[in-house]
């Protein structure tokens, strides 16, 4: 059966995952004194696995813009939208049409952590806050060292759970 990749079902699934990303990012997280453990990256990673890097990048950028409009208090910075796009692209490049192994999940999370979270997002924060990178980077490094293994475990759980795989439609 040669099914069109972008039929109504696929578009609605992408839209629902995008809405879920906004809800998870804005309302559902675990706050600790050191880090905020969020789940918003999971729907984007799922879109990337199902539809590839370009769709995941665009979906991530759109959810960044919509989330900022709805909940950001009017503070929009295009650098963070670029970071969101690149993060979605990375998940797609590493996970789309490839085995969903622990090694690939670790690679995807590490690439996003290093290049997007520690690299680009730190750059954007230094620009926005007008602070030196040496002031911002150490705290961000500690936070990301703590978060990366947690994100790896969460994504691995989603990918390896047969019930979730079937519900999501991951091959």
Question: Please, what are the domains in the chain?
Answer: 8-29+36-168 (1.10.1760.20)
Q: Give the residue-averaged pLDDT of 146-167.
A: 88
What does pTM read for this prediction?
A: 0.87
Among residues 116, 44, 112, the alpha carbon closest in space to that of 82 is found at 116
Which 3 state secondary structure label does DSSP give 97? Answer: coil
Query: What are 82-102's pLDDT values in tens digits?
Result: 999 999 999 999 999 998 899
Q: Give the residue-averaged pLDDT of 46-75.
A: 90
Q: What pLDDT score does 131 carry?
A: 83
Percent of the chain topping pLDDT 70:
95
Q: Say which DSSP state 39 is in.
A: -
Q: What pLDDT score does 74 carry?
A: 62
What are the C-alpha distances in Å from 84 to residues 33, 44, 162?
Answer: 25, 9, 28
Ordered DSSP codes for 132-167? -HHHHHHHHHHHHHHHHHHHHHHHHHHHH-HHHHHH
Q: Give the residue-averaged pLDDT of 75-81.
A: 87
């Amino acid at each position: 059966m040669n099914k069109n990749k972008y039929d109504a079902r696929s578009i609605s699934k992408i839209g629902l995952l995008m809405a879920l990303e906004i809800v998870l990012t804005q309302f559902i997280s675990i706050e600790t004194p050191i880090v905020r453990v969020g789940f918003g990256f999971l729907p984007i990673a799922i879109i990337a696995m199902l539809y590839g890097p370009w769709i995941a990048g665009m979906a991530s950028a759109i959810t960044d813009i919509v989330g900022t409009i709805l909940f950001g208090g009017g503070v929009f910075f295009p650098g963070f939208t670029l970071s969101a796009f690149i993060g979605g692209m990375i998940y797609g490049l590493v996970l789309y049409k490839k085995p969903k192994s622990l090694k690939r999940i670790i690679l995807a999370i590490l690439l996003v952590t290093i290049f997007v979270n520690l690299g680009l997002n730190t750059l954007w924060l230094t620009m926005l806050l007008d602070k030196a990178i040496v002031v911002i980077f150490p705290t961000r490094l500690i936070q990301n060292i703590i978060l990366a293994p947690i994100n790896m475990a969460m994504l691995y759980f989603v990918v390896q759970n047969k019930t979730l795989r079937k519900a999501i439609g991951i091959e």
